[in-house]
Amino acid sequence: MYVERYQGLSEEARAAFLRKQGYGRFADLLAHILAWWEIGQQNIQKYLAEPQYQPLNYDIDKFNAQAVARAVNQSEASIIQAFEQKRAELLQWAAQLPEEAFKNEKVANQFNMELIGHLSDHEIPGKTDSQSHLLK
């Protein structure tokens, strides 16, 4: 749904959205989201395996720039495909986590920061009843 919402915008609205987000291409924005999803998933797995795990501190601007740089030679279609594949993988993965995993404060915070909350920072403009569409 996220990609479809973006694609449903007019050319002018797309350009305005990307300017507001600070990205030149939609693929760059998606690459940035993908990179944080990967970190979020890795951190959650480590929290569950090692309760005392402390995540790395990232220079956010540098991390974001590196994510975009890795995608610079990839087409928008290939980035969209990777985004949709990762989104589906995350939904399946989250559904398979034991219920007690979500009672872990670190896991819950990571889900909100990287997987759900982060995408809401990049919400596509337009009508919506809730944020439930973000990972759909």
Amino acid (one-letter) located at 30: L
* Domain coordinates in residue numbering, the chain: 2-133
Contacts of 3 (CB under 8 A, 6+ apart): 30, 80, 83, 84
Tens of pLDDT along 47-57? 999 989 999 99
- Model pLDDT, residue 134: 45
Spell out, as residue ranges, where the chain has pLDDT lower than 70: 127-136
CA-CA distance, 8 to 85, in Å (whole number)?
20
Q: Is the pTM of this model over 0.85?
A: yes
